[in-house]
Amino acid sequence: MKKLFITFFSIFIGFCACGQRHEIGALVGTSFYMGDLNPKTLFAQPQLAGGVLYRFNISPRWAFKANLLFAKVQASDYKNNKQYERNLSFKSPITEISAQVEFNFFKLYNSAGNNRFSPYLFLGLSLFSFNPQADYNGITYELNHLGTEGQGMPGEKDYYPLVNVAIPFGLGFKVNIGRYISCGAEWGMRCTFTDYLDDVSTRYYDQYLLASSRGNAVAALSDRSNILHEAGTQRGNSKTKDWYSFAGAYITFKIGNDSHKCEIRNHYSLRKRIGRKAR
C-alpha cells in the first residue's frame, strides 16, 4: 500500500509541477462540405465558422484537445456540380463537439531558450448535429421531416437522424508566445457516417404520391429538374458518405502553475527520492 501511495503521489506532484498544461481559447475560420452536390472541389462556397477549445498538454509532444464548433455548409448542383441538371441545393448549420489527440513534430515548451513552435497532426472523434434546408419560392424549408426521398411513407425507411458521428483529422501549426499565450492554425476534414448532410442519398420517390400526400412544395423540393424523373431512378450516391471541413486560426491562454519542462522521467526520479526517504 505504501508503494502504491508513493507511486500515485509522485505522479500527482509531477503533473502539478508541469505548468501551463491547460489552455482555453477561441477559434475562427471557414467551413465547407463535400458530397453529392459537391463531389470534388475543396473550399467550395466556404462559410464562416468558429468556436471554443480546451487543450491539455500531456507532454511536449502530445496533447488532448476538446472543441465546440459552430459552422455552416452549403452547396448546389448549379454552382458546385457543373450545373448538373438535377438542380438540387441545400444549406445546413452544424454544431460539433469533438475530442482529439494532437502529436507535435517538435517538442514544444513555454520557457525561454527552448523550442516554441511545431507543426502537428490530430485525430479524434466528434458528435455533430445538422439540419439540411432549401429555399423554394422565397420560403426556407427544413428538409428532414419532409421526406424528399419517401422517408416515412408506407413501406419506406424512417427519417434520417439529425445527430451523427464523424472522425476529425488534419494538420496544423502552433506557436507559444511567451509563457501564457499560444496561437496557431489548422485544417481538418470530418469523415461522417451519414449520407444525408445534404438530404440527398438514394432514389427519386413517386412525385405524384409526394404531391398528393405532402403537398406540391415537397414534390418540387424532391425533384428540381426541368423534366421530372421516374420513381426509382438515381437521385444520389448512397455508397459514399458526406464530409465537412473546418480551416482556421485560434488563440489560447495558458492557465495553471508556473512553466517548467514536462518530462515523464521527472515522475520516476521523484518517486525514487520519496521511496528512499520512506525506507
Condensed to tens digits (0 to 9), the pLDDT of residues 167-220 reads 999 999 999 998 899 999 999 999 999 999 999 999 999 999 999 999 999 999
Q: Look at residue 83 in the predicted model and tell me its pLDDT.
A: 77
Q: Is 271 inside a domain boundary?
A: no
Global pTM value: 0.83
Q: Look at residue 11 in the predicted model and tell me its pLDDT.
A: 43
Domain count for the chain: 1
pLDDT of residue 259 exceeding 90, the answer is no
Question: Which of residues 266 and 131 earns the better pLDDT score?
Answer: 131
Provide the residue type at 174 as one letter: K
pLDDT band at 16 (very low <50, low <70, confident <90, very high): very low
Nearest C-alpha neighbor of 29 from the set 69, 74, 65: 69
pLDDT tens readout for residues 236-258: 999 999 999 999 999 999 987 55
pLDDT tens readout for residues 103-121: 999 999 888 778 999 999 9
How many other C-beta atoms are found inside a 10 Å radius of the C-beta of residue 8? 11
Q: Is 4 inside a domain boundary?
A: no
Tell me the pLDDT of the chain averaged across its residues.
88
Q: Is 5 inside a domain boundary?
A: no
Question: Which of residues 124 and 14 earns the better pLDDT score?
Answer: 124
pLDDT tens readout for residues 25-61: 999 999 999 999 999 999 999 999 999 999 999 999 9
Q: Domain of 254: which CATH number?
A: 2.40.160.20
pLDDT band at 274 (very low <50, low <70, confident <90, very high): low
Q: Is 198 inside a domain boundary?
A: yes
CA dist 27 and 53 (Å) reads 7
pLDDT of residue 161 exceeding 80, the answer is yes
Range of the domain at 168: 19-261
Q: Look at residue 112 in the predicted model and tell me its pLDDT.
A: 76
Q: Is 134 inside a domain boundary?
A: yes
pLDDT of residue 138 exceeding 80, the answer is yes
CB 30 within 8 A of CB 48: yes
Q: Is 221 inside a domain boundary?
A: yes
pLDDT of residue 277 exceeding 80, the answer is no
pLDDT band at 275 (very low <50, low <70, confident <90, very high): low
Q: Is 14 inside a domain boundary?
A: no
CA dist 161 and 22 (Å) reads 35
Q: Is 26 inside a domain boundary?
A: yes
Share of the chain above pLDDT 90, in %: 76
